[in-house]
A and B are shown apart, each in its own frame.
Chain A
Amino acid sequence: MSAATAAEPRQAVNSVADQVVRRFGDRVVLDHLDLALGHEELVVLLGRSGSGKSTLLRLLAGLDHPDGGTVEVPRKRAIMFQSDRLLPWQRVLRNVMVGLRGPGAAERARTALDEVGLAGRETAWPKELSGGEAQRVALARALVSQPDLVLLDEPFAALDAITRLRMHDLVRELRGQHHAAMLLVTHDIDEAIAIADRIVVLGDGRIGSSHLVTLSAAEREASPAREELRAALLTDLGLARRR
């Protein structure tokens, strides 16, 4: 493994999960899991379905509490879910403003919509948006509060392949403007390689392996190093081709 090798983050720590345990009945979903997110780091959490990815994300979001261990996260955080979760009875601008208060709220929401390429759609109803547009509104809503941690729970899983690629570009672009750590949960290896600073694989309730991704944008699309990383991730997920 050349470009992609396990490594602890060198930057200042943004969020920490320390020896976290979460059980549902007899089933131990997270078993003394450790994970640290660096400052402004984009970590992609890969795992098979049912591996506890979303459970970990909900713990970091504060939507759920651990049965053991501790979770430490910034107070200012935002979550983006697999479905857009827009309020159908509020127009687009109001949907972005839902967590804001104060006089400048509308202006900030407008800026956020502009950032995701939806300037001019402020007065549309959510039912009038396409799936990709709705997810971009959800992204604007997550970023508008200038959070220190953004948690993304399979945010592009329900989108078509072309829209998904455009969303990846958008996420990469927005990272330059927002100084937040991001944790993105997915089961899509190509998505992980496309946007991650670091890819961690969840298995048996713990972080099984961690790959630092230092590829350039072009290398992420096609290169021997990319294929090598992809093969390594497939092995980690237990999906390596048996030959």
Chain B
Amino acid sequence: MSSPPFAVPARSVTAPGVAVRIPGPTAATSRQVFAAQDRPAGRFAGLSRRLSWPLGVCTTPVAVLLLWELLAKAGILGPTYAPAPTSIARTAVSLWNQGVLGPDLATSLRRAAIGLALGLAAGVAAGVLGGLLRTGEYLLNGVVQVLNTIPILAVLPVMIVWFGIGELPKVLIIAFGAFVPMYLNLFSAIRGVDQRLTEMARTAGAGTWRLVTWVLVPGALPGFLVGLRFALAFSVLGLVAAETVNANTGLGYLITQGQTYLQTDQVFVGLIIYSVLGLAADQCVRILERVLLRWRPGYEAM
């Protein structure tokens, strides 16, 4: 089959006045014209965006803080109800200078780090076993599904009965919070790797080790990072629970003290530090995503 020569439609396409001949305003509005445009080049594009939204995603938080400050200064919000952000900041500085905040923060961070390390290590090991081996699935999946249905806060009493009120139950509850989402996400991520890709790798001659390291592990990375995010969030939840119920050091203790003596600004200091910790953890995962998932088609918003 050969296509006809191009002579036939040429005249009608290039006929002069085609655009002019279309009458009336309806025709004009039913058409769109795109022409070359002065577009701000390179770094100026970023600059102009920065000028129109100088605070980016921080816009709403900053607006809330300003409103809060105004309401507190105007006396509409009482100091025991919601102290002004500036007075919270002052309290944070003075707590730090008194040598209270630093050690409490260090204690909390140590608990979180140890608990996370334990929970993530166990979650990754179990997830890989369950994901790669059918035996692993049969042995582990049922147990973790059951654990997943138990709210983390409800485990706390058992932990206290078993391990007392020392450091161990606090670390364990954080580890528990991290383990369950890590396992579940990693398991489904490994199982979710495109069957056609594993088939391809096998037929191309890849051995089991090559299949695991080149196909399954990198294919499961997005799911792993989702699991990591949930693990971090749940472990902070575990940290709060463990420290609030029984502790004499740590951020939770600081908050409980503030509540007891109606020092609301101290309570807010604790809350803000928790939120900063959560944000920092989330940023870490974001950076990991950017580095590890470079191969993914970009999904950054305009």
Residues of A participating in the B interface, judged by any CB pair closer than 8 Å: 61-63, 77-79, 81, 83, 85, 87-90, 94, 98-101, 125-127, 141-142, 145
Per the 8 Å Cβ criterion, residues 200-230 of B in contact with A are 200-201, 203-207, 210, 214-215, 218-219, 221
Tell me if B215 and A99 are in contact (CB < 8 A): no
Q: Can you name 6 A-B residue pairings with CB atoms under 8 Å?
A: A81-B196, A87-B215, A89-B221, A101-B207, A125-B294, A127-B297
- Residues of chain A with a CB closer than 8 A to B162's CB: none
Residue of B nearest to A91 (CB): B295
CB of B55 within 8 Å of the partner chain: no
B214, A88: Cβ atoms closer than 8 Å: no
Q: Nearest-CB distance from B83 to chain A (Å)? A: 49
**C-alpha spacing A99/B211, complex, angstroms:** 9
Task: Give A194 Cβ to nearest chain B Cβ, in Å.
Answer: 13
Chain B positions within 8 Å of A98 at CB level = 200-201, 204-206, 210, 214-215
Q: Which residue of A lies closest to B207 (CB)?
A: A101
Interface status of B155 (Cβ within 8 A of chain A) = no
Chain B hits for A94, CB < 8 A: 214
A87 touches B197 (CB 8 A): yes
Which chain B residue lies CB-closest to A84? B200
Q: Which of B197, B204, B205, B295 contacts A127 (CB 8 A)?
A: B295
18 A-B pairs besides A61-B203, A85-B197 with CB distance below 8 A are: A77-B203, A78-B203, A79-B203, A81-B196, A83-B196, A87-B197, A87-B214, A88-B296, A89-B219, A89-B293, A90-B218, A94-B214, A98-B205, A98-B206, A101-B207, A127-B295, A127-B297, A145-B204
Q: Are B205 and A145 in contact (CB under 8 A)?
A: yes
Selected from A62, A85, A100, A101, the residue in CB contact (under 8 A) with B200 is: A85
> Which residues of the other chain, B, contact A125 by a CB distance below 8 angstroms?
294-295
B199 contacts chain A at the CB level, 8 A cutoff = yes
Across the interface, A99 reaches (CB within 8 A) one of B197, B201, B219, namely B201
* Residues of chain B lying within 8 A (CB to CB) of residue A85: 196-197, 200
Chain B residues, Cβ within 8 Å of A88: 295-296
Asked whether, in the complex, the Cβ of B206 is within 8 Å of the Cβ of A99, the reply is: yes
Q: Per a CB cutoff under 8 Å, which of B197, B205, B293 touches A100? A: B205
Could you list which residues of chain B lie within 8 angstroms of chain A, going by C-beta atoms?
A: 196-197, 199-201, 203-207, 210, 214-215, 218-219, 221, 293-297
B295 A81 Cβ-Cβ under 8 A: no
Q: How far is the CB of B2 from chain A (nearest CB, A)?
A: 8
A78 to B203, CA, bound (A): 6
For the complex of A and B, the 10 pairs showing the least CB-CB separation, nearest first, are A99-B205, A99-B204, A89-B218, A85-B200, A89-B295, A79-B203, A125-B295, A99-B206, A98-B204, A127-B297
Q: Which residues of chain B come closer than 8 Å to A141, judged between CB atoms?
A: 204
A57 to chain B, nearest CB (A): 11
Q: Are B205 and A63 in contact (CB under 8 A)?
A: no
Neighbouring B residues of A99 by C-beta, 8 Å: 201, 204-206, 210
Chain B residues lying within 8 Å of A63, measured Cβ to Cβ, are: 199, 203
User: Please, which residue of chain A has its CB at the minimum distance from the CB of B209?
Assistant: A101
Closest partner residue, chain B, to A97 (CB atom): B214
Give Cα A79–Cα B202 distance, bound, in whole angstroms: 10
- By a CB distance below 8 angstroms, the chain A residues around B293 are 89
Complexed CA–CA distance, A104 and B115 (Å):
45
Minimal beta-carbon separation of A75 from chain B (angstroms)? 10
Q: Nearest chain A CB to B1's CB is how many angstroms away?
A: 8
Q: B2's closest neighbor in chain A, by CB?
A: A222
Please, which residues of chain B bring their CB within 8 A of the CB of A101? 207, 210
Q: Bound complex: CA of A61 vs CA of B204, how far in Å? A: 11
What's the minimum C-beta distance from A166 to chain B, rounded to whole angstroms? 18
Interface centre among A85, A125, A141 (most CB of B within 10 A): A85
* A100–B214 CA distance with the chains assembled, in angstroms: 12
- Specify the chain A residue showing the minimal Cβ separation from B217: A89
Beta-carbon contact of B200 and A81 below 8 Å: yes
